[in-house]
């Protein structure tokens, strides 16, 4: 991308961010971001339109290949999540004036996703530019990586029961402390975070939750991620929790991967996205 193109992308990301660091799905802020994107699509020679769900699609020609992302955000989000994919897609369209393609800005992706699940049509291929949400490429000194798969994910909770008691009058040896057992479990979860598996305890609910009371009940959240469904099943069984929500891994299809490898300079790292 030329220096001018880089400057334009950065300026447009600033314009979207200036609308608000929080752009909830179907909010006035997301509306404003879509209006900006529609104007930029027209400048790039695309014909923008919105479907029944509010997804903004800028087309040129037959448009069997799509790119893009979303313009809503989580609360107080960063500048690049989602918006980078839309803005770079529009920039690519402007630099490929003869190419049949489409750039899409999905609606309310962070809250469902709602818009992308209601598409009335699907492209033959979809490619997204996304900011890295971790330190791997930066640590390697690489500006780009090629995502080969999206990890599977499972979430659930485990509850530990104890007996409430006064912190000042109950000897240690007479306590049944639910939080102590939960702490052992947290350490055990961490042991499974290896060989491509991520396992995290991100929340604890301690009852009754008083400083001077031995915990009676503790509920521990579990988030497990793995590159294959088999590996995800194994880690769920090993940790010992019942998923309340699950999403199996998705491997990227071959032809788009080969096309990316052909056009990107050098030998780019192969990455797996664990933040679906």
The answer as to CATH 3.40.50.740 being correct for domain 152-247 is: no
CA separation for the pair 256, 272 (Å, rounded):
15
Question: Could you say which DSSP state residue 24 is in?
Answer: -
Q: Where in the chain is the domain with CATH 3.30.70.360?
A: 152-247
Q: In the prediction, which pLDDT does 129 show?
A: 95
Q: In the prediction, which pLDDT does 207 show?
A: 99
Q: Give 28-60 as a DSSP string.
A: HHHHHHHHHHHHHHHHTT-EEEE-TT--EEEEE
Q: Give 124-166 as a DSSP string.
A: SEEE-----SSSHHHHHT-S--EEEEE-EEEEEEEEEE---EE
Q: Give 64-97 as a DSSP string.
A: -EEEEEE---STT--SSTTHHHHHHHHHHHHH-T
Which are the contacts of 146, defined by CB distance < 8 A and separation ≥ 6?
257, 260, 261, 264, 268, 269, 270, 271
The full length of the chain comes to: 276
Over the Cα atoms of the chain, what is R_g? Answer: 23
User: How confident is the prediction along the chain (276 residues), in pLDDT tens digits per residue?
Assistant: 668 889 999 999 999 999 999 999 999 999 999 999 999 999 999 999 999 999 999 999 999 999 999 999 999 989 999 999 999 999 999 999 999 999 999 999 998 788 898 888 899 999 999 998 889 888 989 888 888 889 999 999 999 999 999 999 999 999 999 999 999 999 999 999 888 899 999 999 999 999 999 999 999 999 999 999 999 999 999 999 999 999 999 988 888 888 888 888 776 777 778 776
Are 221 and 183 spatial neighbours (Cβ–Cβ below 8 Å)?
no
Q: Where in the chain is the domain with CATH 3.40.630.10?
A: 3-131
The pTM of this model reads 0.84
Tabulate helix, strand, coil % of the chain (nearest 5). Answer: 35, 25, 40
The answer as to CATH 3.40.630.10 being correct for domain 3-131 is: yes
Q: In the prediction, which pLDDT does 260 show?
A: 85
Q: In the prediction, which pLDDT does 44 show?
A: 98
Chain position carrying tokens 């695309």: 46
């Amino acid at each position: 991308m030329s220096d001018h193109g880089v400057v334009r992308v950065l300026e447009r990301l600033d314009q979207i961010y200036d609308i608000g660091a929080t752009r909830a799905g179907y909010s006035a802020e997301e509306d404003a971001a879509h209006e900006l994107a529609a104007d930029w699509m027209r400048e790039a020679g695309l014909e923008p339109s919105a479907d029944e769900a509010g997804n903004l699609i800028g087309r040129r020609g037959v448009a069997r290949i799509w790119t893009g992302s979303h313009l809503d955000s989580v609360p107080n989000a960063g500048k690049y999540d989602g918006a980078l994919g839309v803005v770079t897609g529009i920039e690519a369209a402007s630099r490929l004036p003869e190419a049949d393609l489409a750039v899409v800005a999905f609606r309310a992706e962070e809250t469902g996703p709602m818009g992308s699940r209601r598409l009335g049509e699907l492209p033959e291929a979809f490619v997204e530019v996304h900011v890295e949400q971790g330190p791997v490429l930066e640590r390697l000194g690489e500006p780009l990586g090629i995502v080969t798969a999206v990890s599977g994910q499972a979430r659930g909770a485990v509850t530990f029961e104890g007996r409430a008691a006064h912190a000042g009058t109950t000897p240690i040896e007479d306590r049944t402390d639910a939080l102590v057992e939960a702490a052992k479990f947290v350490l055990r979860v961490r042991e499974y975070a290896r060989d491509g598996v991520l396992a995290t305890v991100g929340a604890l609910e301690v009852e009754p939750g008083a400083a001077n009371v031995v915990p009676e009940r503790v509920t521990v959240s579990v988030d497990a991620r793995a590159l294959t469904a088999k590996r995800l099943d194994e880690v769920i069984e090993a940790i010992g929790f019942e998923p309340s929500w699950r999403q199996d891994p998705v491997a990227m299809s071959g032809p788009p991967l080969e096309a990316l490898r052909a056009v990107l300079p050098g030998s780019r790292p192969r990455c797996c996205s664990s933040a679906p």
